[in-house]
Amino acid sequence: MKIRIKNQIQFDEQVEQIDQTYDGEWQKKGAYHYLRFENEENENVVLKFQDEELVMTRFSTPKSLMRFIKGGEALIGIPTPVGIQQFITKQVITRLI
C-alpha cells in the first residue's frame, strides 16, 4: 500500500511543508491501526493510531517518538546531538483514505 504523509512544521515564524509517499503495510490489532514503512534514511517507522491519538515511532539511533492527540497538544522530547529538544505537537487533521 502507499502511505502519504502531509504535514506542516512550524518553529516560531519558520514553516516547513512536508509531503512524502512511502510503500508500506497496514495492520489492525484490537482498537489500533498500524502503518509500517521505511523512510528515506532506511529507518523503520510505525504509525499507531485510533480515533483519539496517533503515535509515530522512528526506530533510529536513538529511537524517537512523537504523539498527537485529537484536538489537543502533547509535549514530546526528541533526542538530538545537542541533547533532548522539547516540542509541543498539535494535531489538526488525520485522515486514512
For CA atoms 10, 40, 43, 38, give the dihedral sign. positive
| pTM strictly above 0.85 | no
Copy the grid coordinates of residue 33: 491501526
Nearest to 71 by CA among 58, 85, 53: 53
Whole-number pLDDT of residue 93: 57
- Backbone phi, psi, residue 47, to 5°: -105, 120
> Rounded to an integer, what distance in angstroms lies between the CA atom of residue 52 and that of residue 96?
14
Whole-number pLDDT of residue 68: 85
Portion of the chain with pLDDT greater than 70, in percent: 93
Query: pLDDT tens track of the chain, all 97 residues?
Result: 999 988 888 878 899 999 999 999 999 999 999 999 999 999 999 999 998 888 999 998 888 888 888 888 888 888 888 888 888 888 755 555 5
